[in-house]
Amino acid sequence: MSAGDSRTVAARALAPVISGQGSLSALDAQLAASALPERDRGFVKALCFGVCRAHPRLDALAARLLRQPFKRRDADVQALLLIGLYQLLHMRVPPHAAVSETAGAARALGKAWATRVLNGCLRRFQRESVALQAQVDRDPPVALWHPAWLLRELRDAWPVEWRTLCEANNEAGPMTLRVNRRRGSRGDYLKRLDEAGIAATPCRFSPDGIQLESPCDINQLPGFQTGDVSVQDESAQLCAELLTPALEGSAGKRVLDACSAPGGKTAHLLERFDLDLTALDIDPARLARVGATLERLGLNARLHAADAGDRADNAEWDGQTFDAILLDAPCSGTGVIRRHPDIKLLRRYSDIAELAALQARLLDNLWTRLAPGGTLLYATCSVLPAENADQIAAFLARTPNAVAETPSDLEWGRPAGAGRQLLTQPGGHDGFFYARLRKGNAA
């Protein structure tokens, strides 16, 4: 299979993302179904993730190169142009191959007419690269690789840190592991990694976390298939730390993970504590991933496909109250853009208000399922106050028996209203927000 076929597969994967009709979530499945050899699949992923990561700038350059935009039905050709530009700017592909193989890939799409157009655009970019980049970089959203609405929100929310946030969003995130305490200690697993020739260091904030010096295939990780370790960012691992006061002590406490897929936090809680845990998710397919995760780790929970924000569904899956509830709420994902760079193309400013309304509905409904004296931990992988500090402030204002109990002496993050905000760190943890709430006895 030729190198051009790799670019064709990448263009087909990117076309629905560029046109706002799909995401990269199915990329692994698409690669598995393709005839590409294993060595070429990493190249395709690098192209797809790289184009999405740099899309605001690549798209601005493409607009300068084209006499007129491609028609909507030719989003795959647009993708090829962006793929060519990304290779010339950010990859060690020989320039002649980046141009000729990318232009030639249009034939495999059944659009031979585009070969000449792509070849002309990419060769012109080679000649005029410095001038064209200087022109588009006059626009800050383009220069910083962020959609204008998101750049504005970051600057308003974090007037000191916004530029560092953008830089972190534009890098690939590190690969971080979570050691399964039921199968061994972090120290022992670090020794196993060293014996396997995999360089790693312990995470600073999570006692179960290990950060790899370089990402690797999960099948290279000692004991991965037998459940000794999982892949999970350090920020997400802090959930178990915040819930420890509510869960330690007696076994069998009733816990609800309300939006559980893909199951990383569910599994971490079960690794750390002996719980009677119920895992919900509104999407049965995503809930199946929770089941697969727990099976690999040798853990058990009750799984139910249900809407945690719909009171009419409550009795369908469990009519009792819980000692603790984890609400890892649906959010904008602005704290994990570097891991899901298609967010830059798919998310819109109008989504934030809609997500905030959904989060409020989930909070209000789940609060009725929490036992008096119980703990609810609210979490998002967002860095936007509307989904985080502002959301919790509004909930506390309308809920008399809700008491904020987020610790103020934590080593990580920063105070954010009644919660704690972690900002995405270059080479470190993802962006995350947590707020721990206790249910008092007042009505």
Catalytic residues: 381
Q: What is the DSSP letter of 190?
A: H
On whether the CB atoms of residues 282 and 307 are closer than 8 A, the answer is yes
Give me the half-sphere count of Cα atoms (radius 13 Å) on the Cβ side of residue 318.
24
Helical spans, DSSP H, in 158-283: 162-169, 186-195, 234-247, 264-272
Q: Which residues contact 274 (CB under 8 A, 6 or more apart)?
A: 251, 252
- The residue among 293, 422, 307 whose CA lies nearest residue 362 is 307
- The residue among 285, 282, 240 whose CA lies nearest residue 259 is 282
- The residue among 378, 365, 364, 372 whose CA lies nearest residue 437 is 378
Q: What is the DSSP letter of 283?
A: -
- Burial 47-79, CB ≥16 within 10 A → b, else e: bbbbbbbbbbbbbbbbeebeeeebeeebbbbbb
Q: Which residues contact 71 (CB under 8 A, 6 or more apart)?
A: none
158, exposed or middle or buried, with CB in 10 Å at 0-12, 13-18, 19+?
Answer: middle
At 227, is the secondary structure helix, strand, or coil? coil
Alpha carbon of residue 215 to chain centroid? 16
102, exposed or middle or buried, with CB in 10 Å at 0-12, 13-18, 19+?
Answer: buried
At 380, is the secondary structure helix, strand, or coil? strand
